[in-house]
Structures are given as C-alpha cells and as structure tokens.
Structure 1
C-alpha cells in the first residue's frame, strides 16, 4: 500500500470509475448521479470530486498494483475551495434539479455521524477484474493501521459490503431504508 498524492489522481479516478460505472443498483452513487446525459462523464465528475476532497481533507491509499484504492476524510472543513468543488459537482454530476434531493440525503447521513471525532472511510474501490482477490481486505487492514486508535466511520448500501466490513471488525450501529436503497452505518475503533 502507498499513500496517494495529487500525481495519482488519474489512476485513482480510473479505479473508481471502473469499479462503479457499471453498478446500476440503487446505491449512494446512483442516488447522486443525474440519470440523464452521459453516465460515464457524470461518474467521472463524481470520482474526481471525491479524489479532490480526499486529497485536500483526508488521505487516499493505493494498492501496490494500482488495482484498488481507499479514500478517507478526516478534516473536511468549510473552505472556499470546498465550495468551488461542490458547485462544480452540482453542475457536472448532480444537476441543479437534483440538488435538494442530494442535500436531503446528506442531512440524513449527518444525523448518524458519530458525536465524537471520527475519520470517515468515504469510498473504497477495486477494479472489477481484481475483486475477490484479497486486495480490498489488505488495503483496508493496512489503511486502518494508519488510523490506529481513531474512530473509523463508514456507511454502505449493499449486504455484501456490510458483510465485508463486519468481517473486518466494524460494528453496525444503525440501519435505515428511508431512501431508495438500504443504508448501513458502521464504526470501528
């Protein structure tokens, strides 16, 4: 595992796009991405936003073979740069007409954020042909070592991901079905 830098942006965005572009089930990504227009372009805009936010306000780790990545947020403070990134996301991915729907989702998520300081495991991805090979487990374990003794928080939408996190010592503390898909909220110390 290696810590990513801005020079790794294209690699990380490509991993994220490959992992999520063909996932069409109801989930957080598909809830945010506007349905009309070029899906690939909108997914790429979302992944660029997530990379930029994580490189500015967290940490990104890459597997040694550049087949997987994990993005954390640990200091997503309010700033002019953040406002610019969010406006760009609205225009290139969400669409103005979906903004209130996405803001409602964000409010729901924040209601279940831990009250104490935490690190947000924001997104994890393995390219499709390498999924199930152990890259994700290794990446998760090594990146958690970086945040040793910190409260780690993650939300996920699929039973498979929920199982993956619980097998890696995360604990579910809340579930909700208020959106078009299930949301599982987990933590690990």
Structure 2
C-alpha cells in the first residue's frame, strides 16, 4: 500500500469510475449523480471531487498493484478551496435542481457522525475484474493497522459491504431508510 500523490489523480479516478460506473442500484453515489446527461462525465466529476477533497482534508491509499484505493477524511473541510470544490461539483455532477435533496442527505449523514475526532473512511474501490481477489481486504487491513488507535467510521448502502466491513472489525451502530436507499453506519471497534 502506498500514499497517493496528486500525480496519481488520474489513476485513482479511473479505479473509482471503473468500480462504480455499472453499479446502478440506489446508493449514495447514484443519489448524488444527476440522472440526466452523460453518466460517465458526471461520475468522473464526483470522483475527481472526492480525490481532491481527500487530498486536502485526509488522504488516499493505493494498493501496490494500483487496482484498489481507499479515500478518507480526517478533518472537516472548510475555506475557499472547499467552497470552490463543492461549487464545481454542484454544476458538473449534482445539478441545481437536486441541491435540496443533497443538502438533506448531508444533514442526515452528519447527524450520525461521531462527536469526537474520527477518521471517515469515505470511499473504497477495487477495479471490477480484480474484485474478489483480496485486494480490498489487504488494503483495508493495512489501513486499519496504521489507524488502529483511531475511531474510524464508514457508511455503506449494501448488506454485502456491511458483511465485508464486519469481517474486518467494524460494527453497525445505526441504519436508516430515510433516503431512497438503505444506509448503514459502521464504526471500527
């Protein structure tokens, strides 16, 4: 596992896009990506946003074979850079007509964030043709070794992901169906 740099942006965005382009179930990504227009362009914009925000307010790890990645945040985004990133995302991915539903979603997510300092495991992906080969598990275990003394928090929308995280030491502390999809909140214990 290695820390990503800004030179890895295209590589990480490609992993994320490949991992999520064909996932069409109701989930957090599809909730944010506006339905009209070119799905790939909008998805790529979201993944670029997540890369940029993670580099500013957290970090990104790549698997040694560049087939998987973990993006996390360890501090709150603020300031002009954050505002510019979010404004760009609004116009390139979300759309003005979806802003209220996205703000409602963000408020819901934040209501279950821990009050104390925590690491938000924001996004994890492995390229589709390599899923099931242990890349994600290895990446997550190496991540957890580094941050084993920290409170780590993640949200997911599928029971399959819940099972994966539970196998790796996480527990569900809340679940909700308030949005158009299930949402499970987990913490590393």
Name the TM-score class by shorter chain: over 0.9
Residue 164 (structure 1) aligned with residue 164 (structure 2) = yes
Counterpart in the other structure of 1:6? 6
Trace 1:139-158 onto structure 2 (pairs within 5 A). Answer: 139-158=139-158
Separation in 1, partners of 2:117, 2:184: 19
Total equivalences in the alignment = 189
Q: How far apart are residue 77 of structure 1 and its match?
A: 2.9
Q: How far apart are residue 33 of structure 1 and its match?
A: 0.3
Q: Deviations over 1:72-108 (max 9, x none)?
A: 1001331100000000000000001001100100000
Counterpart in the other structure of 2:107? 107
Separation in 1, partners of 2:73, 2:89: 17
TM-score by length of structure 2 reads 0.99
Unaligned runs of 5+ in 1: none
Residue 45 (structure 1) aligned with residue 56 (structure 2) = no
Counterpart in the other structure of 1:55? 55
Counterpart in the other structure of 1:187? 187
Counterpart in the other structure of 1:32? 32
Q: How far apart are residue 148 of structure 1 and its match?
A: 2.4
Q: How far apart are residue 115 of structure 1 and its match?
A: 1.3
Moved over 2 A (4+): none
